[in-house]
Structure 1
């Protein structure tokens, strides 16, 4: 059986996922409603105020049945941590069984027997099954070859729906041999469901087999683990599909939990009259207010591709807090990174942040044409910085990889004053006039520090922090000042220290907002407080205000508000672009700094019905090894 990746699970039928004909049983015959009821009861037990007694056995109150006790799996020992946040931790109970024990439903009894089997490592299997009764036996053998006498029988208690253990032979006469018939594919899938949901690429069949052997001393086959993993992936995908259909309820939940937030969901009706998802936008009110009050007036825009089942682009607007760390402001999910979608996103952002015409703000982004056009149309007065990483990537594509060219371009970008800027520009011209000519087309003044707008105190010249916004910012190192500026720093007047230091050309201080080491020496020499000369954006009090309030967590999908609007359906997967017969493919070859452009005709293969592919082999001396057409 072939192992499925988390993005390759088979799709569910529409009526099974969203309609009234939804199946109530899984492929293994288990009632989904009973499993959901058990999960809810388990969650309620975990929220109990009183500590559990008698190894997680809760005594009944006076209103319950006399002489009985009920048990639910509640992790309250070192071996069963809640949530299983670490690799190898599982949210399981102790597996205590006794005669007279009462369970919430059939699933709760099965889970208790499973916990018992995992704890003792015996070969437990289900022997009798009925809608009102269940029996488990041990299939182990003693040293003499006799069958093990262990047996447990549970059934419903009279007119109630609860299950109670009626008989229990708890003595084992067998020898553990590492086998457990109870551990089949669906059971393994339930054990590793949350693990696979969090890290699908880590919990592969071999890893699941290894963990079961190490933790519970039970041998399972690779085929069992592979089947269990595929089943878990299908369950997870079904959950995603059902939650996606209730996307309007999720939007309502965001607004109810975070009053004042902006949520926009756009759907397009298809030929069948169904609402198909188009794009989604969210901006939390607490984030919006914190950014406007405590963060720098700089916004980074970028989009990244999503590789889940439903393809698309995630657009994000990123701010900077007082510590120069990333601060997500708003984000949107759109089908593609086009001018229309960028214009829609920028319009929403303009209204939420009250940017007006953009005056007083700074925008950092790559050179995407649709993004630049949208910003120019909606925010004509905003200061638009370009990303040096993208500038260099484009130059490398035109002139080839050259460490010296990279060093010169970055030196130009990191120039703090116009003198350094002109000197580094001349060095690039001496290095290669073609590189200089193409570099001037990018308008270096839009991405060089020497021409940064004073007042935002952000020295970055690249948008890498926005592209990797779920990681920490990689701060650029300060560039050392010249010896002439260092000598002038030592001759400053203490009364107007900051004014005179800045007047002699220390633009680095104005751009960064923190005095350089030479200015700091003058401040200490004049017996002044260095903190008084640091920009207010870097104050600890202001930084704490940024994170004083937080987003109110939303409830789970079961508690989302019910809406009258129809369900949201996923859009069809976009077809892969194919070159037509006779279409030419353009290639750019760089050799010795000379750009050569060639064309190759694309010929369709008549032998197979698959997508035709043309592979063009080029010698490595030409700068490109292999070029493939789709």
Structure 2
């Protein structure tokens, strides 16, 4: 066998080379565009004609081993002498390609075994890709390519292009009819609006091709299945006897996936239920919609999908799609717990003086505490010594409870101090939160302080343990909710509030006596509660605050309602951003105030200046 120094070309008996470059007598040469002719002297590619001894106009070496043109890559002749041309040996001749610096030949022996050669040529150092002959050998009958439902391409279906890609059109009898250049058009995301495949369309990856096929299925409402779907090729066909067919494979020249065969005709009926219309597909289509409106209900989401696609997915599919879209927007909820320690370190680094603590129990999240430096300094410098505490539920995948501590600023507005996230709300977690808050604010003497909360049993015990000398007020609204379980009606309600608003001890005794006349049981219930915890007449004068309701915490809990539905890191970051925005806007408002008395206080006292 006479192979060249690259081991590419060679000849055996009957003139067939190792790469199948030279084919049977009288046939076209191999698909690389190099091979020449058979015994009858028919030219395969227009590059060179050879006489029966292999000599052509370019005087490139033939079978006698003469030295050919200066291509720089030699092939060995029959007599063992190297030639400088690139030669493919046929039965009695060969061909030479144009001059270039580098040459690589890629082989697919599997396809060669089935008489279907898909070899490609990659040329470096030339401005154009070489001409490549398309694989369609007559007599091939195995697989989907030989199926009677596959229709051969017509010349009118091919588009002209400046590209060097060629496709050989074969008639029904297997005769070669013509060659037309195919336009190599790159697939782009904007093509999603109207998916149209054609031969020569390029895709950067197989994933991009599969996404385009899925979009085509949904847009055209057809049921297409994959005959082959792997890293080497994709064959897709329509169900039943529908002739629609697509074949794509990687192309070594463009380093992309190229549509090699395509039949775009459909004879099937449209489908109303598509397997490809998945929750992941919906999430990808409506992720920006959810980014703009995270509160969108499933009902409105379903209406939007029906308007766009004329299909009504199930409620569970819509819920999964919304969950996936929110996961794309905010990140994985479980992964964010692993990022919590890094987030805490970044808070302490970027905002000196802030406190961010994270605790774990046996490698699992237990609780965390966050208080920004501006919150602590502003509260200690300008706010009254009263702290409102409350808890609210977190509404994400893993749940939990958020404990909040809120103060009252000089204008009787809320002033957030600290927040904590715990698993459950009980005496242990409240003790930990209040003790951490006490140490963070450096509170040594608890006597001047006042705490306000609802009448939760665990919270009462925690306040008594951590702030033993502080006054503990109860929210009168929560007190009335418990009171109204046994004594309903506006009469009892109005009398209760009259007692709570009494500003003198004599008034308190008077109103309590009136309650006793209404109902002895109601009187005994209220008399058992320490009046210092719910009546203005017995409040300490130091805080200069006559609040009867724990509205400060209620307002703050509503203020961070959107953040409470997000994953933990996103939740804390959003609360941080909200506090920064609030402090900035309040600072701008304070610069426009006149005098030293705040607007709400001036309105209460009736002062004009």
TM-score (norm 1): 0.50
For 1:340 and 1:420, the matched residues in 2 are separated by 39
Contact 2:407 2:552 in 1 (8 A): no
Aligned to 1:505: none
Superposed CA offset, 1:256-308 (max 9, x none)? 55444322222233xxxxx2332222223344344445655432111235576
Report the CA distance between 1:373 and its aligned residue: 3.8
Match of 1:301, SS?
strand
Which residue in the other structure is 2:475 paired with? Answer: 387
Equivalent residue for 1:215? 308
Report the counterpart of residue 127 of structure 1 in structure 2.
226
The 5-angstrom pairing of residues 417-566 of structure 1 reads 417-418=504-505, 420-453=507-540, 458-467=545-554, 469-471=556-558, 513-516=601-604, 520=606, 530=608, 532=609
Is the CA contact 2:247–2:262 (under 8 Å) kept in the aligned structure 1? yes
Which residue matches 1:302? 390
Root mean square deviation of aligned Cα: 4.7
Shift of 1:345: 0.7
Q: Quote the Cα distance in structure 1 between the aligned partners of 2:288 and 2:461.
A: 44
Offset, 1:440: 2.3
Counterpart of 1:469 in 2: which secondary structure?
helix
Q: Give yes or no for contact 2:195–2:212 (8 Å, CA) kept in 1.
A: yes
Aligned to 2:429: 341
CA contact (8 A) 2:451 2:472 kept: yes
**In 1, are the aligned partners of 2:243 and 2:267 still within 8 Å (CA)?**
yes
Q: State how far apart, in whole Å, the 2-side matches of 1:196 and 1:163 are.
A: 33
Tell whether the 8 Å contact from 1:154 to 1:166 is kept in structure 2 after alignment.
yes
2:188 pairs with 1:71: yes
Query: Structure 1 residues 208 and 309, CA, compared in 2 at 3 Å: closer, same or farther?
Result: closer
User: Equivalent residue for 1:363?
Assistant: 451
Whole-Å separation in 2 of the counterparts to 1:250 and 1:472: 22
Alpha-carbon separation, structure 1, partners of 2:475 and 2:495: 16
8 Å contact from structure 1 (residues 300, 319) kept in 2: yes
**Pair member with larger Rg:** 2
Q: TM-score, normalised by structure 2?
A: 0.51
> Does residue 408 of structure 2 align to residue 313 of structure 1?
no
Q: Which residue in the other structure is 1:111 paired with?
A: 211
Q: What is the distance in 2 between the residues matched to 1:164 and 1:255?
A: 53
In 2, distance between residues paired with 1:343 and 1:372? 10
> Relative to 1, partners in 2 of residues 1:434 and 1:228: Cα closer, same or farther, differing over 3 Å?
closer
Q: What secondary structure, in the 3-state scheme, does the structure 1 residue paired with 2:440 have?
A: helix
Q: Within 2, Cα distance between the matches of 1:360 and 1:457?
A: 11
Deviations 1:55-79 (A, max 9, x none): xxxxxxxxxxx976463469xxxxx
SS in 1 for 2:484: helix
Residue 393 (structure 1) shift: 2.8
Preserved contact between residue 156 and residue 164 of structure 1 (Cα < 8 Å): yes
Contact 1:267–1:276 at 8 Å: present in 2 too? yes
How far does residue 229 in structure 1 lie from its aligned partner after superposition? 4.7
CA distance in 2: counterparts of 1:314 and 1:428, whole angstroms: 38
Q: Secondary structure at the match of 1:442?
A: coil
Other structure's SS at 1:513 match: helix
Tell me the distance in 2 between the aligned counterparts of 1:160 and 1:319.
66
Number of the residue aligned with 1:240: 333
Structure 1 residues not aligned, in runs of 5+: 1-65, 75-92, 141-145, 270-274, 474-508, 524-529, 533-630
* CA deviation map 1:471-491 (0-9, x unaligned): 269xxxxxxxxxxxxxxxxxx
Runs of 5+ in structure 2 lacking a partner? 1-182, 561-596
Q: Distance in 1 between matches of 2:502 and 2:603?
A: 17
- Among candidates 495, 498, 501, match of residue 414 of structure 1: 501
Query: Number of residue pairs matched?
Result: 385
Alignment check: 8 A CA contact 2:286 2:325 kept: no
**Aligned equivalents of 1:511 and 1:392: distance in 2?**
31
- Residues 95, 113 of structure 1: 8 Å contact kept: no
Find the aligned partners of 1:510 and 1:203 in 2 and give their Cα distance. 45
CA distance in structure 2 between the aligned counterparts of 1:380 and 1:511, rounded to whole angstroms: 35
| Structure-2 change in CA distance of 1:152 and 1:349 (3 Å) | farther
- The structure, 1 or 2, with the larger RCO (C-alpha pairs under 8 Å, 6+ apart) is 1
> CA offset at residue 196 of structure 1?
9.2
1:183 counterpart residue number = 277
TM alignment of 1:602-621, pairs within 5 A: none
In 2, the alpha carbon distance for the partners of 1:314 and 1:432 equals: 39
Q: How far apart, CA to CA, are the structure 1 residues paired with 2:475 and 2:280?
A: 50
**CA offset digits 1:237-273 (Å, max 9, x no partner):** 994334334543443354455444322222233xxxx
Structure 1 331/194 Cα, relative in aligned 2: closer, same or farther at 3 Å?
Answer: farther
- Structure 2 vs 1, CA of residues 227 and 373 (structure 1 numbering), >3 Å: closer, same or farther? closer
